[in-house]
Amino acid sequence: MQPLDPAKVVIIGEEPANGALAKTLRGGGYAVSESRTADAETTIAKKAADLIVLRLADHKGLASCPRLKSSLQTGVPVILISNTFDRSECRAEGLQAGGDACLAEPIEPSELLAQVKCLLRVRKVELALRESEQRFRLATEAMNGLVYEWDVSERLTRRSAGIAEFLGWRPEEVPTHSDWWPEQIHPEDAPAVHQHFGEAVARQANHCGLEYRVRHKDGHYLWIWDSNRIVYNEKGEAMQVIGCAVSIDERKRAEEQLLRAKEELHRANEGLEVKVEKRTRKLLEMVAELESWSYSIAHDMRAPLRTMHNFSNFLLEEYSERLDAIGMNYLQRIDAATQRLDHYLRDLLHYGKMGRGELPLREVDTTTLIGEILATYPNLQPPKCDIKVRLPLPRVQANASALTQVFSNLLGNAVKFVKEDTVPEVSIWAEEKPGWVRLWVEDNGIGIDKQAQERLFGMFQRLHPSSDYEGTGMGLAIVRRAVERMNGTVGVESEPNQGSRFWVELKAVA
């Protein structure tokens, strides 16, 4: 911690006795300078004195004291020393001339040091008070408000100078009577303000705060926040109120603008909701019409395809001897294309069925359901493949018909997409999670590239030529749509040449 600089004392006088005074003051820890009377003002200016000791040759020297006092910084104390101050009337004249203390010669060193210490302490307090007052004044001006003190019993109010910046009134224009402020409160707000303050006093609250409008000198009103402390006497009566009022006008305007914006947004949203509802209803009608139309088209197209297929078979069976090899090849290609198109239409019907109408969900025994699938489909039975089921399989919330379609497609892909001369090996098992069941179908097939997995569940997504693996590219799209209609999810884990693991996650039975 840095030591404080010693106070600076300037001794002014013509006589040799200055030396004894200087010695005493230096012994007391002060920085002392000496000056002749003629050089006093220059010395004081250079030294920035904290205290002056003025030695007077006689009583007539008092005339120089007012001039000296006017040349000093505000609050610098002056001690007058003279052999005439042994009389009370002379000391009174010295104090009236501007001295802060009068000492009679001969000087007692302890008395001198005590006077110096006392006057410097008073000056320190005065400087701190002046600095505090300046900070207080700057703070009240900076906050765009005013500070007030209301003497309730005398009905008088003192207000800070900030009222000029705040409400346009100069301090001298505002009466000190406490009735003036209530007259400035907006008529609509005045009853609430009086009631709020009255209730605070009735319960002897220490604090009272409220926002309201107050009139500016030019006539318009400002929103303010008025916060104060209430002081009570022994009887519980309010005696003094000290408070601060600051402007919240910008905040209030912003709140009003925000409120208007919200109201406009609400009206716009209401209009938008009506438009969205109308357009959604129209869109749903259009989608329903398109689905119905596509379903009818797909269904109706299957009839002529079946006719083409049947007549192609009739030609192959009854007229094959009359056709040469080229004719037979053409006829077989027509029949194959007819069947392929029929498969496309059948899968489109299945896909549309998963998106149309109600799909009620009930408790489904997956062990029984998968067992029935394996027993029904010839391509899922030995020796064509080896399918193992790890029992038991939990029950799930699902639609039995849709879940049958899901697993028939997943198992059909599992035994189809394998390398040539490889016996398909498939495992089925389940994992239980809180509230959910994940059913797995793992195969030893050709696997799926990571990039291809992103589009795997889309419509007509074929990853291999139809000459290598038959199919329409609709099977997994049907799976995804069915699972999502049952409030579930579907996914895959796979690497090329390392098989695939498809999973279906559905809600467990509570």
Q: Label the pairing between strands 436-443 and 500-507.
A: antiparallel
Cross-strand bridge partners of residue 54? 12, 80
Q: Label the pairing between strands 145-151 and 238-247.
A: antiparallel
Phi, psi of 448 (to 5 degrees): -135, 135
The CA distance from 406 to 403, in Å, is 5
pLDDT (average), residues 287-309: 66
Sheet containing 436-443: order of strands: 386-389, 425-433, 436-443, 500-507, 489-494
Determine the distance from the C-alpha atom of residue 393 to the mean position of all C-alpha atoms in its chain, rounded to a whole number: 47
- Token couple for 20: 């004894």
Q: Say what percent of the chain tops pLDDT 90.
A: 26
Which of the four pLDDT bands, split at 50, 70 and 90, describes residue 318? Answer: confident
Start and end residues for every CATH 1.10.287 domain found in the chain: 253-354
Which of the four pLDDT bands, split at 50, 70 and 90, describes residue 354? Answer: low
Which of the four pLDDT bands, split at 50, 70 and 90, describes residue 223? Answer: very high
Taking residue 328's Cβ as centre, other Cβ atoms within 10 Å add up to 14
Mean pLDDT of the chain: 83
Which helix H or strand E contains 406, and what residues bound it?
helix 400-416
Start and end residues for every CATH 3.40.50.2300 domain found in the chain: 8-139
CATH architecture of 144-247: 2-Layer Sandwich (3.30)
Q: In angstroms, what CA-CA distances link 491 with 173, 181, 350? A: 82, 75, 20
pLDDT for residue 263 is more than 90: no
Which of the four pLDDT bands, split at 50, 70 and 90, describes residue 420? Answer: confident
Taking residue 399's Cβ as centre, other Cβ atoms within 10 Å add up to 19
The CA distance from 266 to 272, in Å, is 10
Sheet containing 156-159: order of strands: 156-159, 145-151, 238-247, 221-232, 207-215
Give pLDDT, residue 214.
94
pLDDT for residue 299 is more than 70: no
pLDDT tens per residue across span 56-105: 877 777 888 888 888 777 778 999 988 888 888 888 988 998 899 999 88
pLDDT for residue 421 is more than 70: yes
Residue in the structure block whose two tokens are 């596509």 = 294
The more confidently predicted of residues 204 and 455 is 204
Determine the distance from the C-alpha atom of residue 437 to the mean position of all C-alpha atoms in its chain, rounded to a whole number: 38
Fold exhibited by the domain 253-354: Helix Hairpins (1.10.287)
Closest by CA position to 29, among listed 55, 13, 8: 8
pLDDT for residue 3 is more than 60: no
Taking residue 242's Cβ as centre, other Cβ atoms within 10 Å add up to 13
Taking residue 306's Cβ as centre, other Cβ atoms within 10 Å add up to 13
The CA distance from 152 to 231, in Å, is 10
Provide the CB-side half-sphere exposure for 358 (13 A, CA). 3
Provide the CB-side half-sphere exposure for 141 (13 A, CA). 8
CATH architecture of 8-139: 3-Layer(aba) Sandwich (3.40)
The CA distance from 410 to 404, in Å, is 10
pLDDT (average), residues 257-285: 82
pLDDT for residue 194 is more than 90: yes
Which of the four pLDDT bands, split at 50, 70 and 90, describes residue 1? Answer: very low
Cross-strand bridge partners of residue 498? none
Start and end residues for every CATH 3.30.450.20 domain found in the chain: 144-247
CATH architecture of 359-507: 2-Layer Sandwich (3.30)
* 49 and 71 Cβ atoms separated by less than 8 Å: no
pTM exceeds 0.75: no
pLDDT for residue 462 is more than 60: no
pLDDT (average), residues 152-173: 84
The CA distance from 213 to 207, in Å, is 20
Q: E-strand spans in 58-104?
A: 78-82, 101-104
Start and end residues for every CATH 3.30.565.10 domain found in the chain: 359-507
pLDDT tens per residue across span 135-158: 766 666 666 678 888 999 889 988
- Token couple for 168: 């346009």
pLDDT for residue 418 is more than 60: yes
* 26 and 47 Cβ atoms separated by less than 8 Å: no
**Calculated CA dihedral for residues 53, 58, 62, 65, nearest 10 degrees:** -30
Encoded amino acid at 247, one letter: S
The more confidently predicted of residues 443 and 17 is 443
Encoded amino acid at 504, one letter: V
Closest by CA position to 116, among listed 3, 12, 25, 43: 25
Closest by CA position to 509, among listed 429, 397, 369: 397
pLDDT tens per residue across span 360-392: 889 999 999 999 889 888 889 888 999 999 988
